[in-house]
Amino acid sequence: MIEKIHVNLNLNSYNIYIGNQLLDDISISSVFLNHKNSVIVTNETIYNILLKNKANSNFYNYIKDIKFFLIQDGEYYKNFKTVESIISFLLNQQYGRDLSLIALGGGVVGDITGFVASIYQRGINFFQIPTTLLAQVDASIGGKTGINHALGKNMIGSFWQPKGVLIDINFLSTLPKKHFISGIAEIIKYAIIFDNNFFMWLEKNLLKILQLEENKLLFCIKKCCELKASIIENDEKENGSRAFLNLGHSFAHAIETYSGYGKWLHGNAVSVGIVMASYLSFQLGILKKDDLFKIINIFYNIGLPIKGPKHMKPNDYLILMSRDKKVLNGIMRFILPISIGKVKIFSSIDKNILLNAIKKFQKKIYFFNS
């Protein structure tokens, strides 16, 4: 069964296809792959998986004549050096503006490929074939592209929509368990932001998702894609409600920058970030204690972290969050849950109150069991 979601952005509209073993369905994969004018950007890990399965893969037979460009695996390499290496390759091969780039990989591959596509010869087409859970439910959709800077995560980038997204859950069986669990953080995020019923469904079904039960997995991915598509259609460039999707990300990006890119998986940092945002909301008298406990428990029960780096101090968070993209006119903005299924943007939270909340979070953690 193939699920199709249309993202309606007028001239930038595209389809998201979701299913199992879609890459072996030539009627679908041929939409994404034109070997005459395509380059696949991926990493060695994904490339080796393709080689390992080439004997019984229609997909591999279809792409064997397409040029590959391999980048190094990991968040650490999401930088200008990698971007320059891809652009140099494309220029040396004399590719023109009729080139299409295909991002085959996780969020790092997608972010870099999309960014290169947005700036190469003032913009070329690209397609997303996400291979990680995190990329399938979040990063591959919506056109956010970018790279990191030493002073902040995703500080350099652009909005550049893909021409299509192909989500094949067959790839998820190749993921290390810790990476799969990391991706679940983004799924929980959607439930906390938008849908209490979905949150309750996740409480009952997360273990089945972890076991890669196909029907549950497909439902879950489709749900997240539908929610994100709806938000993007109303706010493509993040001038309003799309900012809700940044729940927990101010804290998460601070953790990733402090620790060094790649030391913390993004989903793990988001898990901690959402717990910290929820605790801040509780301290401000907004979020009820019962909802706070539910949020903490759902992350903890699936095996996600709920505490940040041991040696990261409250002031470290404050300094790094003050450089975040969500800061406007020097004022930090936070997306905080006001209940499960509903969030709100808060500005002008007094820095002393914020600092005190982080201190309490780090000390008064009687509800943490790890």
- The answer to whether the annotation marks 107 as part of a ligand binding site is yes
> Which of 179, 189, 223, 242 is labelled catalytic?
242
- Catalytic status, residue 242: yes
> Which of 246, 268, 326, 333 is labelled catalytic?
246
Categorise residue 134: left if φ over 0, alpha if ψ from -120 to 50, beta otherwise: alpha
- The answer to whether the annotation marks 109 as part of a ligand binding site is yes
- Catalytic status, residue 122: yes
- The answer to whether the annotation marks 359 as part of a ligand binding site is no
> Which of 253, 268, 326, 333 is labelled catalytic?
253
- Catalytic status, residue 323: no
- Catalytic status, residue 228: yes
Quick one: 317 exposed, middle or buried, by C-beta within 10 A (0-12, 13-18, 19+)? buried
- Catalytic status, residue 266: yes
- The answer to whether the annotation marks 174 as part of a ligand binding site is yes
Residues 6+ apart with CB under 8 A from 215: none
> Which of 122, 177, 310, 363 is labelled catalytic?
122
- The answer to whether the annotation marks 152 as part of a ligand binding site is no
Residues 6+ apart with CB under 8 A from 261: 74, 75, 76, 78, 148, 153
- Catalytic status, residue 203: no
Residue with tokens 């199709």: 4
- Catalytic status, residue 364: no
> Which of 249, 256, 268, 326 is labelled catalytic?
249
Q: Which amino acid is at 78?
A: K
> Which of 20, 43, 125, 144 is labelled catalytic?
144
- The answer to whether the annotation marks 144 as part of a ligand binding site is yes
Return the closest-CA partner of residue 272 out of 299, 302, 303: 299
> Which of 186, 216, 326, 333 is labelled catalytic?
186
CA distances to 9, 23, 113, 118, 163 from 13, rounded to whole Å, are: 4, 22, 19, 16, 7
What one-character DSSP code corresponds to residue 330? T
Binding residues for NAD(+), as ranges, are: 73-78, 107-111, 131-132, 144, 153, 171-174
- Which positions are catalytic? 122, 144, 186, 228, 238, 242, 246, 249, 253, 266
Known binding-site residues for Zn(2+) equal: 186, 249, 266
